[in-house]
C-alpha cells in the first residue's frame, strides 16, 4: 500500500498542481494520486466550499479538474501522468 | 475484426458483459466490449495498473470465478476490448409495435447505431446486436456534510483501494445497509486502514446471524464464505460492527472531521439522545445501488420502478431482451442483484444473442440453457434474500436531509430550494418539470446523484406515485463530451448542434 507515501520513492511522478510542481505516486488515477498526497480537493462550489471525489467511478462529476487546458476531466477516470498540468481552480470546474 | 461492425457490441466490461461476451464468442460471434475503465472487470473486479506493484486485490477466494472469467475473456480471439471509451448515444432503434422485441431466438434485424467516445474521438458502431451491461453505482444519500471532501461512497472507497492501491483516508467510518460494507471494511483493514466503525441501519440481531441465515441458501457458498471471512477479519482487528445504527451527518469545515451516528428504530428513526460523534477523516456510505440505465433509457428501452432492486430497472423478458429489437440487457440494469447474478444473466443473454445471430442451433442453445437457468435460480434466491434484508429504507434516509442539505451537487440546489419551488407551483408532478424549474439534474452528472433523492422528495411532498413522477429523461450524450468530438459525429444523430466555438463542453 503506497498511500500518503513520502516523495522521492520509485514510482513517484511529478505533476503540476495549480501551478506548483508536486510529486505524487504513479500507476493510479489522478484522483487517487491527489488523495494520496492529502490534496483531495478538485473544485469549489459557488460559495467557495471545497468539493472532492465522491463516487470514485465516473458518475458524480465531483472530481472534475482541468488537465492541460481541457476542462471537466474526471480525475477518478484519468490516469496520472508525469508532467500533466492540473488546475483545480478554474471556473469551468465549478 | 472490423471493430465498427461487430456481431455483438457489449457496453460494460463487468461481470455481466464479460460473461455474455465469452458465451457469444464461444459460439463464433465477433464481440466488441467498450468500457470507460482502463481494464476489464467492472467495479467489482477492478485491478490496479500492472505498473503499480503489490498484492492482487482479487486474490481472495470469492474472486476466483471473476479471475477465471477475466482470463477467458482476455484470451478469446473473438473478443476485442475498447477501454477508456464511453458509449453516449444509441440511435435508429424503433419500438416494436407491441412494445416488445421479437421473441427469444428470433433473428435480429439491422442493428442500432451506437455512438462512442474514446481515445480516437467519436466513432459510430454498427453492431448486429447490442447488449447493455452498464452496471450500477452506489445509491447517493444526501445528508448534512455529504459534500465535504472525505465523504465518499463505499464503492468509491473500494475503487480507490482495488483499482488504485490508495486508501481513501486514515480513519474511516462506513455506514449503510448493504453487505458490501463488511467486505470493503475487511479489505481496508487488510490494507492497513484504521476502520473506526461499521454501522448497519437494519434492525437485525447481528451480521453474523444474518450470514448464518444466508448459509441456508444453496448455491451461494462462495458469497457466504466471503462474508464470514470479512467478519473474522473485522473481529480480529477489533473493528466495532453495529446494527440499528444510522449515520446522521458528517461534520467538518474543509474536510470530514467526524461522523455523527445514532441508534434507530425499525423505521430508521433516530432514538432521541442516542447520537454520538466518532472522530474520523473519511466517511463511506453504502445503502445499495442504482442501476445505470441512462443509456438504455435514452435508446428507448422501457423501465419500471422497483425500489428494492435499485430504483428504475429495465423491462426484460426471460432471455434478457429489452423492449426494443436487437437490444439486450444484463446485470444490474435488470435489477441490482450482485456479481454472481450478473454473470448468470450475462450468460443467459449471450445464449439468446448467439441463437438470434444464427450462430447457435436451437438444440445446442437449449442444452446450454439448463445449467444457466440453475445458476440464475440460485443467484436470484440470494438476491431476493438481500433485497428483503438490506433494501434501503427510503423514508428513513429521506428524513436525514434538512432544508439546507445539498440535493443536486452539480447545480447546488438544496432540499429547501426544491420545497419552495413545489410550494410556489402546486401541481408539479414529474421529475422533468422540477428539473426545468429548479435546475436540479441539469449539471454534468445529469441527475445521477440527485435523481433518486429528488424522486423521494417529490413523492413525499406531493403524494404523486413514483411511477408518475418518473425518472429524468435521458438524452444523448448521456455523459458530457467535447463539442469538437460531437461535431465529428454529425451523422450519429440529428440532435447534435452544429460545430461552433461556443464552448469546450456540452452538457
Ligand atoms: S469521483 Fe465521481 S466522477 Fe470521479
Q: Do B449 and A58 touch (CB under 8 A)?
A: no
Distance CA B429, CA B458 (A): 7
Start-to-end Cα distance in chain B: 33
| Residues ≥6 apart with Cβ < 8 Å to B313 | B291, B293, B303, B304, B305, B306, B333, B334, B335, B336
Identify the three-state secondary structure at position B182: helix
Q: Please tell me the distance in Å from B282's CA to the nearest CA on chain A.
A: 11
User: B153: which chain A residues are within 8 Å (Cβ-Cβ)?
Assistant: 54-56
Taken in order of first residue, the domains within chain B and their CATH numbers are: 8-136+290-388 (3.50.50.60), 142-286 (3.50.50.60), 401-496 (1.10.10)
**Residue A94 confidence (pLDDT):** 42
Grid coordinates given for A24: 505524487
Q: With beta carbons under 8 A apart, name residues in chain B contacting A4.
A: 167, 170
The continuous run of DSSP H or E covering B164 comes out as: helix B154-164
What is the separation of C-alpha B440 from the centre of its chain, rounded to a whole number of angstroms? 21
Identify from A11, A29, A51, A59 which residue to disrupt to test chain B contact, counting B C-beta atoms within 10 A and taking the largest count.
A59
Strands (E) across B98-213 are located at 113-118, 121-125, 129-132, 136-138, 151-153, 171-176, 194-200
Closest-CA residue of A relative to B284 is A54
**3-class secondary structure, B130:** strand
**pLDDT reported for residue B109:** 53
Asked if A73 has any chain B CB less than 8 Å from its own CB, the reply is no
Subunit contact A54:B448, Cβ cutoff 8 A: no
Closest ligand 1 atom to B445 CA: 3
Give the burial class of B421: count Cβ atoms within 10 A of its Cβ; 0-12 exposed, 13-18 middle, 19 or more buried: middle
To test the ligand 1 pocket, which listed residue (A34, A53, A79) has its Cβ within 8 A of the most ligand atoms?
A53
Give B458's contacts (C-beta < 8 A, 6+ positions apart). Answer: B422, B428, B429, B431, B434, B464, B469
- How far apart (Å, rounded) are the C-alpha atoms in residues B207 and B227? 9
Distance CA A78, CA B36 (A): 10
* Measured CA angle at B46 (ends B42, B50), to 5 deg: 130
Alpha-carbon Rg for chain A in angstroms? 12
Is residue B23 a contact partner of residue B346, using CB atoms and an 8 Å limit?
A: yes
8 A C-beta contact, residue B441 and residue B507:
no
Give me the residues of B, 261-320, that contact A with CB < 8 A.
Answer: 292
Looking from the CA of residue A64, the nearest atom of ligand 1 is 4
d(CA B263, CA B269): 8
Tell me whether B448 touches chain A (CB under 8 Å): yes
DSSP chain A: --TTPPTTSTTEEEEEETTEEEEEE-SSBHHHHHHHTT--EEEE-TT--EEE-SSSSSSS-TTEEEETTEEEEETTTSB--TT-EEES--GGG-
Q: Is B449 on the interface with A (CB under 8 A)?
A: yes
Instruction: Look at residue B95 in the predicted model and tell me its pLDDT.
Output: 44
Domains and CATH numbers, chain A: 12-87 (3.10.20.440)
Residue A7 has pLDDT above 80, yes or no: no
In chain B, residues 118-177 whose CB comes closer than 8 Å to chain A: 137-138, 140, 146-153, 155-160, 163-170
Closest by CA position to B394, among listed B344, B439, B438, B460: B460
Cβ distance A2 to B54 less than 8 Å, yes or no, reads: yes
CB B385 within 8 A of CB B224: no
Hey, how many other C-beta atoms are within 10 angstroms of the C-beta on B405? 18
C-alpha of residue A73 to centroid of ligand 1, in Å: 10
> Could you give the CA distance from residue A42 to residue A62 in angstroms, rounded to a whole number?
7
Asked whether the beta carbons of residue A26 and residue B159 sit closer than 8 angstroms, the reply is no
Closest partner residue to A1 among B167, B292, B409, by Cβ?
B167
Number of neighbouring beta carbons within 10 Å of residue B96: 12
- Taking CA B286 as the corner, what is the angle to CA B407 and CA B171, rounded to the nearest 5 degrees? 100
CA-proximal residue: ligand 1, atom 3 (nearest): A58
DSSP for B76-106, written as a single string: -TTEEEE-S-EEEEEES----TTSSPPPTTP
What residues 315-374 of chain B have any CB closer than 8 A to a CB of chain A? Answer: none
Chain B residues within 8 A of A11 when measuring between CB atoms: 51-53
CB-CB neighbors (< 8 A) of B443 in chain A:
61
Cα angle B314, B318, B322; round to 5: 35
For residue B489, what pLDDT is reported? Answer: 64
Please identify which residue in the block is written with the cell numbers 451537487: B409
Q: Can you tell me the distance from the alpha carbon of B342 to that of B334, in angstroms, rounded to the nearest whole number?
A: 9
Between the CA of B94 and the centroid of ligand 1 the distance, in Å, is 33
- Yes or no: say if B222 and B228 are a contact pair by the CB < 8 Å rule: no
Q: Do B504 and A59 touch (CB under 8 A)?
A: no
CA–CA separation, B58 and B374 (whole Å): 26
In the reported structure, the alpha carbon of residue B129 is separated from the centroid of ligand 1 by a whole-number distance in angstroms of 30
Res A63: pLDDT: 97
- Angle between helical axes of B64-75 and B338-356 (0-180°, round to 10): 30
Distance CA B436, CA A72 (A): 23
Distance CA(B16)–CA(B344), nearest Å, equals 7
Q: Is B54 exposed, middle or buried (0-12, 13-18, 19+ CB in 10 A)?
A: exposed
pLDDT digits (tens, 9 = 90+) for A42-83: 999 999 999 999 999 999 999 999 999 999 999 999 999 999
Distance CA A51, CA A64 (A): 10
Q: How many CB atoms lie within 10 A of CB B232?
A: 12
**pLDDT top residue among A4 and B333:** B333
**Strand B171-176 relative to strand B151-153, pairing:** unpaired
pLDDT at B260: 98
Contact between B246 and B201 under an 8 Å Cβ cutoff? The reply is yes
Compute the distance between CA of residue B244 and CA of residue B175 in angstroms, rounded to an integer.
11
**A56 closest CB neighbour out of B53, B152, B443:** B152
Per-residue pLDDT of chain B in tens (507 residues, 90 and over written 9): 457 899 999 999 999 999 999 999 999 999 999 999 999 999 999 988 887 878 888 888 888 999 999 999 999 999 999 999 999 999 865 544 344 445 665 555 567 889 999 998 998 899 999 999 999 999 999 999 999 999 999 999 999 999 999 999 999 999 999 999 999 999 999 999 999 999 999 986 556 666 656 665 667 777 778 888 999 999 999 999 999 999 999 999 999 999 999 999 999 999 999 999 999 999 999 999 999 999 999 999 999 999 999 999 999 999 999 998 889 999 999 999 999 999 999 999 999 999 999 999 999 999 999 999 999 998 888 888 888 788 899 999 999 999 999 999 999 999 999 999 999 999 888 999 999 999 999 999 999 999 999 999 999 999 999 999 999 999 889 988 877 777 766 544 443 333 333 333 333
**What is the full DSSP assignment across B356-400?**
HTT-S-HHHHHHHHHHHHHHHHHHHHHHHHHHHHH---HHHHHTT
Residues of B in contact with A60 (CB under 8 A): 140, 409, 445, 448-449
Q: Can you read off the three cell numbers belonging to residue B325?
A: 429489437
List B residues 228-267 in contact with A (Cβ-Cβ < 8 A): 254-255
Q: What is the DSSP string of B19-51?
A: HHHHHHHHTT--EEEE-SSSSSSTTTT----TT
Amino acid at each position: 500500500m503506497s498511500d500518503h507515501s513520502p516523495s522521492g520513492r520509485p514510482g513517484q511522478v511529478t505533476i503540476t498542481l495549480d501551478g506548483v510542481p508536486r510529486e505524487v505516486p504513479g500507476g493510479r488515477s489522478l484522483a487517487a494520486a491527489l488523495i494520496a498526497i492529502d490534496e483531495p480537493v478538485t473544485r469549489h462550489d459557488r460559495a467557495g466550499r471545497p468539493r472532492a471525489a465522491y463516487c470514485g467511478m465516473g458518475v458524480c462529476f465531483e472530481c472534475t479538474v482541468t488537465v492541460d487546458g481541457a476542462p471537466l476531466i474526471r480525475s477518478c477516470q484519468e490516469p496520472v501522468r508525469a508532467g500533466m498540468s492540473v488546475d483545480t481552480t478554474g471556473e469551468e470546474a465549478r | 475484426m472490423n471493430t465498427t461492425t461487430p456481431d455483438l457490441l457489449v457496453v460494460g466490461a463487468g461481470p455481466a458483459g464479460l460473461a455474455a461476451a465469452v458465451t457469444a464468442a464461444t459460439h463464433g460471434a465477433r464481440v466488441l466490449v467498450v468500457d470507460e475503465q482502463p481494464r476489464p472487470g467492472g467495479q467489482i473486479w477492478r485491478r490496479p495498473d500492472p505498473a503499480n506493484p503489490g498484492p492482487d486485490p482479487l486474490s481472495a477466494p470469492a474472486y476466483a470465478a471473476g479471475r477465471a472469467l477475466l482470463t477467458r475473456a482476455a484470451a478469446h480471439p473473438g473478443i476485442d476490448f475498447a477501454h477508456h471509451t464511453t458509449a453516449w448515444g444509441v440511435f435508429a432503434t424503433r419500438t416494436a409495435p407491441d412494445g416488445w422485441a421479437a421473441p427469444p431466438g428470433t433473428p435480429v434485424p439491422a442493428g442500432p447505431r451506437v455512438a462512442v467516445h474514446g481515445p480516437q474521438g467519436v466513432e459510430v458502431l454498427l453492431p448486429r446486436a447490442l447488449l447493455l451491461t452498464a452496471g450500477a453505482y452506489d445509491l447517493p444519500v444526501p445528508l448534512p456534510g455529504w459534500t465535504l471532501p472525505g465523504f465518499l461512497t463505499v464503492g468509491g472507497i473500494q475503487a480507490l483501494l482495488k483499482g488504485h492501491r490508495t486508501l481513501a483516508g486514515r480513519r474511516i467510518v462506513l455506514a449503510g445497509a448493504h453487505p458490501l460494507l463488511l467486505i470493503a471494511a475487511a479489505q481496508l483493514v487488510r490494507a492497513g486502514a484504521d476502520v473506526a466503525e461499521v454501522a448497519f441501519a437494519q434492525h437485525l440481531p447481528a451480521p453474523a446471524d444474518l450470514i448464518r441465515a444466508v448459509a441456508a441458501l444453496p448455491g451461494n457458498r462462495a458469497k457466504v464464505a466471503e462474508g464470514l471471512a470479512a467478519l473474522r477479519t473485522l473481529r480480529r482487528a477489533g473493528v466495532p460492527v453495529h446494527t440499528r445504527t444510522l449515520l446522521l451527518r458528517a461534520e467538518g469545515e474543509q474536510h470530514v472531521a467526524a461522523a455523527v451516528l445514532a441508534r434507530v428504530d425499525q423505521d430508521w428513526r433516530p432514538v432521541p439522545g442516542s447520537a454520538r460523534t466518532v472522530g474520523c477523516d473519511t466517511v463511506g456510505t453504502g445503502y445499495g445501488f442504482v442501476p445505470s440505465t441512462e443509456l438504455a433509457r435514452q435508446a428507448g428501452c422501457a423501465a419500471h420502478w422497483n425500489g428494492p432492486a435499485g430504483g428504475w430497472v429495465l423491462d426484460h423478458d426471460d432471455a434478457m431482451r429489452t423492449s426494443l429489437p436487437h437490444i439486450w440487457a444484463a446485470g444490474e440494469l435488470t435489477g441490482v442483484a450482485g456479481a454472481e447474478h450478473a454473470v448468470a444473466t450475462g450468460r443467459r443473454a449471450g445464449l439468446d444473442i448467439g441463437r438470434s445471430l444464427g450462430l447457435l442451433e436451437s438444440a445446442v442453445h437449449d442444452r446450454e440453457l439448463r445449467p444457466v437457468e440453475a445458476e440464475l435460480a440460485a443467484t436470484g434466491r440470494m438476491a431476493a434474500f438481500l433485497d428483503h434484508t438490506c433494501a434501503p429504507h427510503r423514508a428513513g434516509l429521506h428524513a436525514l436531509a434538512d432544508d439546507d442539505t445539498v440535493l443536486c451537487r452539480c447545480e447546488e440546489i438544496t432540499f429547501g430550494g426544491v420545497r419552495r419551488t413545489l410550494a410556489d407551483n402546486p401541481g408539479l408532478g414529474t421529475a422533468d418539470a422540477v428539473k426545468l424549474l429548479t435546475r436540479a439534474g441539469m449539471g454534468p452528472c445529469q441527475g445521477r446523484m440527485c435523481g433518486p433523492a429528488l424522486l423521494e422528495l417529490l413523492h413525499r411532498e406531493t403524494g404523486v406515485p413514483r411511477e408518475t413522477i418518473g425518472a429524468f429523461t435521458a438524452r444523448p450524450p448521456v455523459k458530457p463530451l467535447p463539442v469538437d468530438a460531437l461535431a465529428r459525429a454529425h451523422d450519429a444523430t440529428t440532435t447534435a448542434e452544429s460545430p461552433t466555438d461556443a464552448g469546450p463542453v456540452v452538457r
